[in-house]
Amino acid sequence: MRQRLALEPTSGPLEHLPFRFERWADDRVLVTNMVGEHVFLAKEEFASLAELRIGDPTLLRRLRAKHIVRQRGEELPVELLALKYQTQHHRLADFTGLHMFVVTLRCEHSCSYCQVSRRAVARTEYDMSPETALAAVDAAFRSPSPQIKFEFQGGEPLLNMEIVRLVTEEAQRRNRTEGRQLAFVIASNLALLDDEVLDFADEYDVYFSTSLDGPQELHNRNRPRPGRDSWELALAGIERIRQRLGHHRVSALMTTTAATLGRVRDVVDCYLENGFRDVFLRPISPYGFALRPRQRNSYDMGAWIDFYTEGMDYILELNARGVPVVETYSALVLKKMLTNANPGYVDLTSPAGIGIGALVYNYDGAVYASDEGRMLAENGDTTFRLGHVVQDSYEALMTCAALLDPLEESYTGSAPQCSDCAFERWCGADPVFHHATAGDPLGRKPESAFCRRNTAVFRYLLDRYTADPRARELFWAWAAR
């Protein structure tokens, strides 16, 4: 059980600096400071810390090095903590860097776990209009961020390439005077990839992100389409992009469905066999069609934790045999855990990444604080709708209660049970997830699948880091990427 330790100065020459702690089953105690630097203490060592009766010089050096105690009146540890804390939050000054354009809801796939209400290929009324697209480009450039990423989503964005091209060309034109660092990504199943799309991507340095759920029969089961050839077309598209644009211009993501459980080694092997050295063991999200009753893809978070644990054990085994492969989410966590860098991944940020990390411009002009907020709206819940990109000013979108209220209520530095958690600095806030699953942006942490997932990941990584020298060396390499 977590406890909150009073941090009042004592009468001795030492005093506590802010820290949190978590007990381990083997009687060790994890202690983290206010910027996430950590140390494991034996039960007796923790008792001496709590009482500020630290007679062991080696222990004292460890605790001072981690800014957990200081000599009374010493200013340097406080200044260092402040500098590190400021560095961790430097991205806040840049503001929104990711701008997602839902250029159509049309799609020729019928994935059962799809997070949006896809529409038939003939339903062109679900395409983004040129007026909406240009207004969204203008909104993106209102952000002060020096880097702006334009990500095209759907449905299947290749079904509305006219708008993808319009946005890209207009952004490039605007940038002649703006001088931002631009990036363009098309999130596509690649089934409709052709030479015209590749020519466009080559001209404008566009990247691709696709889905690869594992071996052929698993992928085609998860992501059906007419012809039952989703896997074949995805791999053919990946190869065409690599041949024409370069290996680095296409990445892949998988989604763990109920059918995937128990097959994590097959998934990792599939990624390796098809030239990928990164795999993101991503759980299914509770949005869109995944919310429907009797959803066959649903499962308890405990099942995903078992899946992740087996997958990480296998990935570590492969690396020990000289086969390099990275689990993407773990690498993001390790960057926060082992360095003072902030990778900027929206699920691991606090304040939450909604709005200030990413904005979504829907095909109809509605603006959402996150892609997940847009998915909820497709099922009738418009809680995270910020306004309309044509009708509302950028200032009105970014200062509305639909954005500011959940940001304030979910901030982990003050949220109940987050503010006292030893993992707080490594974790993040996800008000959309908790709204969808618990009815409010904070949620109840003992019942939160988000909390359960991250806690399991943190504990796994720490256990392997402290027990296995090879894993420790590998984790440092992942954190340094």
The pLDDT of residue 116: 60
Predicted confidence at residue 299, as pLDDT, reads 87
What rounded mean pLDDT belongs to the chain?
A: 93
- Say which amino acid occupies 57: P
**Per residue in 145-167, is it b (16+ CB within 10 Å) or e — as a string?**
beebbbbbbbbbbbbbbebbbbb
Where does 159-294 show beta strands of DSSP type E?
A: 181-187, 206-211, 250-253, 278-279
Confidence of residue 121 (pLDDT cuts 50, 70, 90): confident
> What average pLDDT does the segment 13-25 reach?
96
Q: What is the pLDDT of residues 419-434, one digit of tens each?
A: 999 999 999 999 999 9
Average pLDDT over residues 267-287: 94
Task: Give the pLDDT confidence score for residue 117 in this predicted structure.
Answer: 65
Give the C-alpha separation, 470 to 452, whole Å. Answer: 27
Tokens of 136: 């969204």
Confidence of residue 8 (pLDDT cuts 50, 70, 90): very low
Q: Which helix (H) or strand (E) holds 112?
A: none
Residue 262, pLDDT > 50, answer yes
DSSP string, 164-182: HHHHHHHHHHHHHHH--EE
Dihedral class, residue 262 (left if φ above 0, else alpha if ψ from -120 to 50, else beta): left
Supply the angle between the helices 449-467 and 431-438 in degrees, to the nearest 10: 130
Average pLDDT over residues 177-185: 98
- Summarize pLDDT for 278-298 with one digit per residue, the tens: 999 999 887 654 444 445 567
Q: Is residue 151 within 8 Å of 100, Cβ to Cβ?
A: yes
Q: What's residue 285's pLDDT?
A: 81
CATH topology classification for 93-397: TIM Barrel (3.20.20)
Q: Where are the extended beta strands (E) located within 306-465?
A: 326-327, 358-361, 366-368, 385-388
Phi/psi for 22 (5° steps) reads -145, 130
Closest CA to 268 of 327, 184, 197, 344: 327
Digit-coded pLDDT (tens) for 307-348 = 999 999 999 999 999 999 999 999 999 999 999 999 989 899
Domain residue limits, the chain: 14-88, 93-397
pLDDT of amino acid 110? 76
DSSP H helices in 411-467: 431-438, 449-467
